[in-house]
Structure 1
């Protein structure tokens, strides 16, 4: 099977896609021969569902040959996208199912129940990367996503929310072994 295109979805409150480990990962993936899309999404601060899912569908044309790589609220967008669209797989970094946060409540991602069976059946592979010490997302959130999607889980000790890492070798290795 051909290598998929890796589409990166950053989190909310982001002015530009290139933060922390993401420039390094993009370069490493390209060096391995992957096609990639690392772009700043419209409405990047609020990350509203109506704009982000349309951007994935209409601008990036995410589909069955693509892997969505979402970080934080970008992972939430990837989950919602897979409810209705076929993709090759998703890699969810610090995903969650809802936080008591005003910006999150206004995003539109949490206005309806999750259709976990649809999310799972619309893709071949799902992986979750999280830390044992995320300062923003409770551990139970990760467990919920892993269980609901029968995902492969990777817990990175001391990783926090992965904001301070300049490299993310575990993530690169997963992508290389699974899709390379």
Structure 2
């Protein structure tokens, strides 16, 4: 899928699990407000169903029916939301996925195991074929995710990797680099 076939009309932010009110959590609401200032562009951010376990069989249908993720959508996924974005892209064409704190296994955590994202092999080629662009933000000092898992995602997806050593799990209230990355994907703001 080339950028000439379609242009993105919206971004959808998929939060990490346990986010509570997503409008007031981390950088999610801050990012949404700034993206909505772009002419002819929308940003959707909603409280997810099953917010603590973040089950794939609940989140992916919600992304399709309620958030209307499609080939004109930039999906921004953080942590569990990154896992959801990757699984969604295995079976759906999307304009882009931006992965923040992405990982590949349940890390031995029961809640992560119960989510369902890690119950089978990843379909990396399908993800790459269904995404026009793949951007990833990761930090070597993430207290929850080992760097080798984040790096593996970047390598197998040939992602444009933004590697940091001091961002932890990206739990700040602002995220200017993410905002810049999204703007670069929208032709009108280039």
Please give the range of the TM-score, normalised by the shorter of the 2 chains. over 0.9
- After superposition, the C-alpha distances for 1:20-64 in whole angstroms (9 at most, x for unaligned) are 111111111111232111111100111000000010112222111
- After superposition, the C-alpha distances for 1:78-135 in whole angstroms (9 at most, x for unaligned) are 0000000111110000000012111000011111110000010001100000112100
Partners of 2:51 and 2:130 in 1: how far apart?
A: 26
What displacement does 1:72 show? Answer: 0.2
Structure 2: runs of 5 or more not aligned: 1-5
2:152 to 144, 157, 169: 144
Partners of 2:131 and 2:8 in 1: how far apart?
A: 15
1:30 to 31, 36, 53: 36
Q: Normalised by the size of structure 1, how large is the TM-score? A: 0.95
Partners of 2:152 and 2:141 in 1: how far apart?
A: 16
1:2 to 7, 12, 23: 7
Alignment of 1:18-57 (within 5 A): 18=23, 19-33=25-39, 34-57=41-64
Is the Cα–Cα contact under 8 Å of residues 93 and 131 in structure 2 kept in the other structure? yes
Aligned length: 179
Is the Cα–Cα contact under 8 Å of residues 24 and 166 in structure 1 kept in the other structure? yes
RMSD: 1.1
> Structure 1: which 4+ aligned runs deviate by more than 2 Å?
1-4
- After superposition, the C-alpha distances for 1:125-162 in whole angstroms (9 at most, x for unaligned) are 00000112100000001111001110000013311111
What displacement does 1:7 show? Answer: 0.5
Q: Please name the residue that 1:13 is paired with.
A: 18
